[in-house]
């Protein structure tokens, strides 16, 4: 299976809403001056920078070298490192681990939770938001139907995402030793940029693993079919709205 390719410049230009929505999670984190905070799956670093405005010492980690290069060029005063969020260790423990819109890309969720627990001080907090059960069901149903009907491909075999229920994730955290203070599963319909091309650009940024072995023309044709299939449920007035369902958690290492 091909790896998701992150186009860091285009991500900043077309998908800035990802960081914008993450500000609410950063407020829940409530960073304090002098704290050491790890931003896990930090992307191009926008939220890491905003958290650092509190006076906290923020380190950003992402497994995409392209994202890390972009983050370092934008915020050279911060520390960024390439790393796998599913399996990492830190030399010095952190006061908090923060993550926005990244954990659903890490299918080894137990490895993530174990690594985060090991990275925290006793009493340290884990604050995260990511896709929960039912996230982007409309887009995925359209893609799955088109793949089955036109290409004889089972999209489930290429699905790169992990969208747990509230109960599943809270149980996973508790099994590692976390005390879960907040677990909230909620709908957040999200307007996609680029008007009638909203689903197209969403798939171009987030759907690489589905289009392994497709030629450029075949990929364009498939995406056009998926956009058409999604229009009945996701088009509202002047734009596509992704049917985002998010899971937000606040847990403490005990």
Spatial distance between the Cα atoms of 245 and 171, rounded to a whole number of angstroms: 19
For tokens 């099994």, the residue is 175
Residue 38 pLDDT greater than 90, yes or no: yes
Q: Mean pLDDT, to the nearest integer, of 166-175? A: 98
Stretch among 6-20, 59-73, 165-179 having the lowest mean pLDDT: 6-20
Q: pLDDT category, 13, cuts 50, 70, 90?
A: low
**Residue among 86, 158, 164 at smallest CA distance from 132:** 164
E strand or H helix at 10, and its extent? helix 8-14
What DSSP designation does 63 have?
S
- What integer pLDDT is reported at residue 220 of this predicted model? 97
pLDDT reported for residue 10: 60
Highest-confidence range of 42-51, 113-122, 185-194, by mean pLDDT?
113-122
pTM given for the model: 0.90
Chain Cα centroid distance, residue 162: 10
Distance, in Å, from the CA atom of 95 to the CA atom of 124, rounded to the nearest integer, reads 5
- Farthest CA pair distance, the chain: 56
Share of the chain above pLDDT 90, in %: 88
3-class DSSP state for residue 31? coil
- Would the pLDDT of 71 be above 80? yes
Domains of the chain: 8-135+161-192+244-253 (3.40.50.150)
pLDDT value at 2 more than 90: no
**Sorting pLDDT into bands at 50, 70 and 90, what band is 24?**
confident
**Nearest 5 degrees, angle CA 19-CA 105-CA 11?**
40
- DSSP state, residue 3: P
- Summarize pLDDT for 119-132 with one digit per residue, the tens: 999 999 999 999 99
User: Are the beta carbons of 91 and 83 closer than 8 angstroms?
Assistant: no
Strands 239-242 and 235-236: antiparallel
- H/E run at residue 180: strand 178-187
- pLDDT tier at 224, thresholds 50, 70, 90: very high
Q: How many CB atoms lie within 10 A of CB 225?
A: 18
Number of H helices, E strands in the chain: 9, 10
Query: CA 141 to CA 158: how far, in whole Å?
Result: 14
**How many CB atoms lie under 10 A from the CB of residue 64?**
22
């Amino acid at each position: 299976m091909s790896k998701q390719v992150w186009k860091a410049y285009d991500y900043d230009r077309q998908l800035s809403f990802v960081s914008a929505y993450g500000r609410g999670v950063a407020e829940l984190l409530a960073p304090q001056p002098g704290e050491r905070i790890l931003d896990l799956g930090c992307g191009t670093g926008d939220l890491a920078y905003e958290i650092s405005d509190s006076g906290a010492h923020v380190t950003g980690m992402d497994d995409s070298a392209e994202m890390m290069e972009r983050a370092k060029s934008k915020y050279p005063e911060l520390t960024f490192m390439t790393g796998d969020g599913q399996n990492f260790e830190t030399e010095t423990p952190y006061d908090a681990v923060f993550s926005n819109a990244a954990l659903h890309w890490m299918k080894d969720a137990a490895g993530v939770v174990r690594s985060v627990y090991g990275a925290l001080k006793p009493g340290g907090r884990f604050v995260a938001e990511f896709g929960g059960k039912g996230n982007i069901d409309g887009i995925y149903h359209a893609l799955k139907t088109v793949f089955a009907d036109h290409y004889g491909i089972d999209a489930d075999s290429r699905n790169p995402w992990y969208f747990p229920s509230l109960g599943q994730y809270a149980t996973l955290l508790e099994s590692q030793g976390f005390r879960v203070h907040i677990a909230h599963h909620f709908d957040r319909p999200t307007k996609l940029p680029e008007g009638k091309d909203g689903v197209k650009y969403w798939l171009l940024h987030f759907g690489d693993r589905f289009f392994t072995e497709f030629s450029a023309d075949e990929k364009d044709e498939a995406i056009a079919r998926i956009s058409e299939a999604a229009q009945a449920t996701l088009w509202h007035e002047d734009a596509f709205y992704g049917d985002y369902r998010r899971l937000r958690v606040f847990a403490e290492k005990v």
